[in-house]
Structure 1
Amino acid sequence: MPFIALPYIIRIVGGENYGLIAFVQTVVSYFSIIINFGLDVSAVKDVAILRNDKEQLSQLVSSVLCIKFFLWIFSSFILITCCLVFDVFRSNVLLIFFAYLSCFSDILFPVWYFQGIERMKYITFVRFFSILFYTISIFIFIHSSDDYIFIPLLQSLGMLLSGFISIYLLLVVEKIHLSFVSYSNMKAYFLASIPFFISRLSLLINAGIAKIICGIFFSMQSVAAFDIAQKIANVAFIPLQMINQSVYPHLARIRDRQFARKCFGFMCVCSSVVTLFIYIFAPLGIAFFAGEELTEAVGILRILCVFVFCGGISLYLGTPLLVAFGYPRPFNVSVIGSTFVLIVIYLLLYYLDLFTVQTFALVLGITELFIVLYRLYYCLKYKILYYNAT
């Protein structure tokens, strides 16, 4: 959801209904991961290699779209089964259906293709159109708490319209011709995307499992409080991500360990400043976005400061250091390992009867701390952070 519409949505539909929407959208995001299956990462390189060969490129695009379509059918069967078996799904089937419509745009919107041919302006235009359509529609059609059910529908419609625009750009402007594809080609592309799928799934489990459990064991009000706190925490990452994105190409090119160590100290300071800012202004931020509706989110956001601080450091230790210096494996393993840590902690909390929204926020910080320690160990092992390393 665009931040510009968030305060309006919470005030109009209320915390309970907003929490239900957040719960449903979190569930649907797992199906989106299945449909994309890492192809939105693995296919970028293939497109970049084949960009000057229209025939081969058309075969690649056809294969990826075909795989995604079959995965969408598979996901639809799983979702229908869940709606028949679980009460929480069955009682909100229309809301889930409206949210799930957005998953079809995962087929239609070939971000991976536009990235591969370096037509980033297409991605910017299409995403801007989707956000603009959704934001305007919210203010036009959402006027009472009973209208909450239409919020995921409006979001899905915006994404579907953007998807159809993308298909037009793909087939008409880029002149890609869809054709029948061989099973062997589809299998090869599918298998190549598995590592990226696992990594993406791990990240999504880390980010979304707390809201799923809150929706099952607690109330949708708790989901809303956790969601709004998590959204603000994620926004805090934006300046840290921008710093990492600017440093990464330079480090990848020169691999200067002395510069890397100086940047590490700088990132620690930046993470500390951002974390302190979030902690101090947490009440103001929650009041702005949620009013008096979700005051419990203040405590959750302050606990998430551990996540923000560790996350800022883990970002730098990941792509700008480990990947840039040629060690991608510890980078990927740290993400997957953190998911195992998270699941083990959740099982312990359940066994010890310590399930609370606050402990869920703390678990996010602990898993991010695990990533920091794991990546830092390998940065020291490979002497990336040493001045006179050879």
Structure 2
Amino acid sequence: MKLLNKTNLSTEGKLVFKNFSFFSLLRAFNILSQYLLVSYLVRTLGAQTYGVFVWGFSIIQYLIIIINFGFNTYAAKYIAENKDDQVELNRIFSAITAIKLLLFIITVFFFIVIIYAVGVFDSNRSLILILLGFVLGEVLFPIWFFQGKEKLDIPTKIVFSFKFLLIALTFLLITGPEDLLRYALLLSVSQLLIGVTGFYVAKKKLNINLVKTTSNYILNKIKEGFMFFVGTLFSRTFNLAVIFLAGIWFTMEDVASFDISFKIIAAFQLPFETLSMVLFPTISRTKDVKMNERIIFMASAFSLLLWGFTFWQSDLLLTIMGGKELLIYSSLLKNLSILIPIVVVTYFLGTNTLVAFGYQREFNLSIIIPSVLYILTLVCLWILDLISIEALIYSRIMVDLLVMAIRLIIAYKHKLIFSSR
């Protein structure tokens, strides 16, 4: 970072560049570690057993969405707006932590009752129970706080340390399909360590103190975050519903193929998602429409190139991820690759445009309305006995197209894009 000080960037520009660099490292390492693990696990556990893991983990992801309550999307805005007010930072941190822990206790209680009462979970109950440790780790890790404080070097170092340990232990201890539960335990423990360490660093290194907050203050934060929770719940339903339903209606090999395809697509979306999250606090403060507009146009152009590459090299990408056995799913990846430019544009039109400029209600409605239509579509396909792999793919693509279209219309209406008109 000494070299950065010698450049002609403004103070704001240097801060953005520094945080983009660290967050890029964080996201890149997260994705790279996932790919290393997926590539190893598919070959070691087999596509069938890996599909079982993915199916169980998709259920856990729903719990994480409920417990995070949208704060991982929106709480960074609270922190960015009050970054120099230590008293208010303590109140925000304490309130959000209390909400998330309370939701964890309530949600896990009802969830355990459900998985013992519903037969579909019988064969994978132990796996799901072990993965609950991963949920607690997510609850404790205050990534939203580090993002709002623009101290992204801290979570980068924490995640790197424990994910590296996870990879090493996985290669050492996971040798066959019988080690599925052992891997789930390793994953949960590593995430718990990340959460506890992040929480400790926030308190000790960034001088955060847990303080008593009034019930009205907590209820106000719940009220403000509710629409973001609903929006996040619906938006994450897009991928998770496909994986969960594939596990019920089709085979676990199909589950594995969807998961690997989504991970390949996520890799090419990574730089744009990272840039979006890093710029969010800055745009929230500066309300710089021109800068945001330029970023959207550049991201759109580059994402189209990555779509073309993914479509062209689908066979190579699948072979790298899971071996030649997955080549039968090449058409699946080709069809889903259109999501790269669609989702990239949707990122920037969402958090960095609508949320940053104060259109939170419109942001959430842009997710909720298409998601309701998506759920109704899946229900109709099921009732009419028209469920197929192709139906899941095309409905998944159409819902993202609709989200993008709604956000484009809203942003244009409020002069947040094409602002020179």
Question: Normalising by structure 2, what TM-score?
Answer: 0.82
How far is the alpha carbon of 1:115 from its aligned partner? 2.7
8 Å CA contact 1:102, 1:157 repeated in 2: yes
The reply on whether 1:35 has 2:86 as its aligned counterpart is no
What SS is found at the alignment partner of 2:324? coil
Alpha-carbon distance in structure 1 between the residues aligned to 2:173 and 2:411: 52
In structure 2, what is the Cα distance between the partners aligned to 1:268 and 1:63?
38
- The correspondence of residues 1-390 of structure 1 with structure 2, limited to 5 A, is 2-241=34-273, 254-256=288-290, 260=293, 266-319=298-351, 321-322=353-354, 327-382=359-414, 386=418, 389=421
Q: Do the aligned partners of residues 367 and 41 (structure 1) sit closer, same or farther apart at CA in structure 2, a change above 3 Å counting?
A: closer
1:257-298 Cα distance to aligned partner (Å, 9 max, x none): 9x94x7766555433322121111111111111113333431
* Higher deviation after alignment, 135-144 or 372-381: 372-381
Counterpart contact for 1:32–1:103, Cα < 8 Å: yes
**Change in 2 beyond 3 A, CA 1:273/1:86:** same
The verdict on how the C-alpha distance between 1:43 and 1:137 changes in structure 2, with shifts beyond 3 A counting, is same
- Residues 138 and 315 of structure 1, relative CA distance in 2, 3 Å threshold: same
Q: CA deviation at 1:326?
A: 5.9
Give the whole-Å Cα distance in 2 for the aligned partners of 1:243 and 1:39: 19
C-alpha spacing 1:38/1:375, structure 2 compared with 1 (3 Å): closer
Q: Distance in 1 between matches of 2:355 and 2:78?
A: 20
Deviation per CA, 1:43-74, whole angstroms, max 9, x where unpaired? 33444455555455434333322222211111
Quick one: structure 1 residues 217 and 276, their matched pair in 2 at CA, closer, same or farther if it must change by over 3 Å?
A: same
The CA RMSD measured in Å over matched residues stands at: 2.8
Q: Distance in 1 between matches of 2:218 and 2:321?
A: 45
Q: Supply the distance in 1 between the matched residues of 2:195 and 2:418 (Cα, whole angstroms).
A: 47
1:388/1:55 CA distance change after superposition, 3 Å = closer
Moved more, 59-68 or 362-371: 59-68
CA distance in 1, matches of 2:182, 2:76: 34
Distance 1:67 1:372, change over 3 A: closer
- Once residues 388 and 116 of structure 1 are traced to their aligned partners in structure 2, the CA distance between those partners, rounded to angstroms, is 30
The question of whether the paired residues in 1 share the 8 Å contact of 2:287 and 2:357 is answered with: no
Query: 1:298 and 1:132 mapped to 2: Cα distance?
Result: 30
Number of matched pairs: 387
1:226–1:357 contact (8 Å) kept in structure 2 = no
d(CA) in 1 for partners of 2:74, 2:401: 28
CA distance in 1, matches of 2:418, 2:210: 52
**SS state at 1:118 partner:** coil
Q: Distance in 1 between matches of 2:345 and 2:97?
A: 37
Q: Distance in 1 between matches of 2:91 and 2:331?
A: 52
Please report the TM-score for the alignment, with normalisation by the length of structure 1. 0.88
Distance in 2, matches of 1:326 and 1:299, equals 40
Q: Distance in 1 between matches of 2:375 and 2:351?
A: 25
Q: Decide which moves more: 32-41 or 240-249.
A: 240-249
Runs of 5+ in structure 2 lacking a partner?
1-32
Higher deviation after alignment, 212-221 or 243-252: 243-252
Q: Distance in 1 between matches of 2:265 and 2:187?
A: 22
| 2: CA distance, partners of 1:71 / 1:243 | 30
Code of the residue aligned with 1:236 in structure 2: it is F
Deviation string 1:153-183 (CA, Å, 9 cap, x unpaired) is 1111111112222232233333433344433
Change (3 A) 1:47 1:139: same
Offset from partner CA, 1:291-347 (integer Å, 9 cap, x none):
133334312111102322322333344455555666554333212222112112212
Which deviates the most, 164-173 or 214-223? 164-173
**Conservation of the 8 A alpha-carbon contact between 2:261 and 2:333:** yes
2:76/2:144 contact within 8 Å kept: yes
Check whether the contact 1:224–1:294 (CA below 8 A) recurs between aligned residues.
no
CA contact (8 A) 2:289 2:417 kept: no
- 5-14 or 190-199: which moved more? 190-199
Q: CA deviation at 1:387?
A: 7.2
